[in-house]
Amino acid sequence: MQNCQEIAKGLYYLGGNDRRIALFESAYPVPRGVSYNAYLVKGGKNALIDTVDNAVGDVFFENLAFALAGEPLDYVIVQHMEPDHSATFARLVEKYPSVTVVTSQKAAAMLKNYFGFAGKTLLIKEGDTLPLGSRTLTFVGAPMVHWPEVLFTYIPEDGILFSADAFGTFGALEGSVFAQKDVFEREFLDDARRYYFNIVGKYGVQVQSVLKKAAGLNISLVCPLHGPVWREDFAWYLQKYLTWSAYQPEEKCVAVFYASVYGHTQNAAEIVASAAAAEGVRVKLFDVSVTDKSILLSEAFRCSHLVFASTTYNNGIFVNMEDFLNDLKAHNFQSRAYAVVENGSWAPQAGALMESVLSSMKNMRRIGEKATVLSAVGEQSREALIALGRQIAEDVKA
């Protein structure tokens, strides 16, 4: 119970950190772990905001009992049914059988499907209110942020917003429950971006819609289900979400992604990158066979200009590049400038095939013609690669 903190008067943080998890959602590496947050609101009646993943179930129940201090648990608000927040629900209703479950109709159906739960339930929708006494809970619909049943909870008396998965991040908490902008920018921002684009990046329109609703609220504290709580500088983080959800690049820079078997395609990518960097623009290179695809996705969304360089393999795109491009498309990737480099020893095909995937995305703009390397960079292809790098740099600076 050492991490049960009263973060505002009558508001308790009940979450826990998992630093042993390797893959979040069995997909995303989290070398710095992840936190699962839950909160208890006291205001006459006591309301729990979500539960937690099984990994931190024991500490959560200890924290909850400590925060309740012998008082009854009147309500549990189920904002989001994904099991990283609902896995301990069945244990909760067993321990607190008189609790009223407050949730959306869609979440109630999921409670039945996951747990066979058909107990005391109060169905709510956007605009409904639940008075606790000195505080009132109100609800804001947030469909597809990140599942369809999601609700945010807002306390108008204190300006406290419980934002479900929104404004969360990978990375366990480092002692403090509260975000500090400088520390967050240095230690969490890359993980926050990677979390956003991999988990909810596909649903930018829905995120924009809920951000518009939140813009009308007076907010003093933002309590997400992962990562730190925001009590200052939230406008800075909100601006990141506005940029990300609008599919706008965060930085005018070049990300060069390459798939190379014996190093010749890498060499071509390095030549393009060097030519662009020599013109004074910021460039980063990624070997798509080495860097985790969650990082590739996040970096593609961060940058304004992208280069895709792939060898031809089995008469197609090299498999790791093909996976990456398909992942971009699956996440609704759009609105970027790009260039294509291909390699092939007898029948180069990768360029046309990459172009076909990239041009099927929304608002994509190709820079220059595709550059072709035949086996290894020669005098002619070297000139073409340098020219392409310079052309990209000019476009970045335009």
Interaction site with ligand FEO (CB under 6 A) = 80, 82, 84-85, 146-147, 165, 225-226
Q: Where are the alpha helices (DSSP H) in the chain?
A: 57-68, 83-86, 89-95, 105-115, 181-187, 189-195, 204-215, 234-245, 264-278, 293-302, 319-330, 350-359, 379-397
Nearest CA-CA partner of 388 in 374, 372, 365: 372
> Is the Cβ of residue 50 or residue 322 nearer to ligand FEO in the bound state?
50
> How far, in Å, CA of 146 to CA of 202, rounded?
10
Q: Which one-letter amino acid corresponds to residue 71?
A: E
Q: How many other CB atoms are there within 10 angstroms of residue 203's CB atom?
A: 20
> Is the Cβ of residue 42 or residue 194 nearer to ligand FEO in the bound state?
194
Nearest CA-CA partner of 92 in 111, 109, 110, 113: 111
Q: How far is the CB of 146 from ligand FEO (least distance, A)?
A: 4
> Is the Cβ of residue 85 or residue 194 nearer to ligand FEO in the bound state?
85
> Is the Cβ of residue 90 or residue 277 nearer to ligand FEO in the bound state?
90
> Is the Cβ of residue 73 or residue 225 nearer to ligand FEO in the bound state?
225
Q: How far is the CB of 393 from ligand FEO (least distance, A)?
A: 39
Q: How far is the CB of 343 from ligand FEO (least distance, A)?
A: 40
Q: How far is the CB of 24 from ligand FEO (least distance, A)?
A: 8
Q: How far is the CB of 80 from ligand FEO (least distance, A)?
A: 6
> Is the Cβ of residue 203 or residue 234 nearer to ligand FEO in the bound state?
203
> How far, in Å, CA of 30 to CA of 271, rounded?
33
Q: Taking the CA atoms of the chain, what radius of gyration do you get in angstroms? A: 24
> How far, in Å, CA of 301 to CA of 92, rounded?
39
> How far, in Å, CA of 142 to CA of 136, rounded?
19
> How far, in Å, CA of 194 to CA of 201, rounded?
9
Q: How far is the CB of 271 from ligand FEO (least distance, A)?
A: 42
Q: How far is the CB of 112 from ligand FEO (least distance, A)?
A: 19
* CB-closest chain residue to ligand FEO: 82
> Is the Cβ of residue 80 or residue 193 nearer to ligand FEO in the bound state?
80
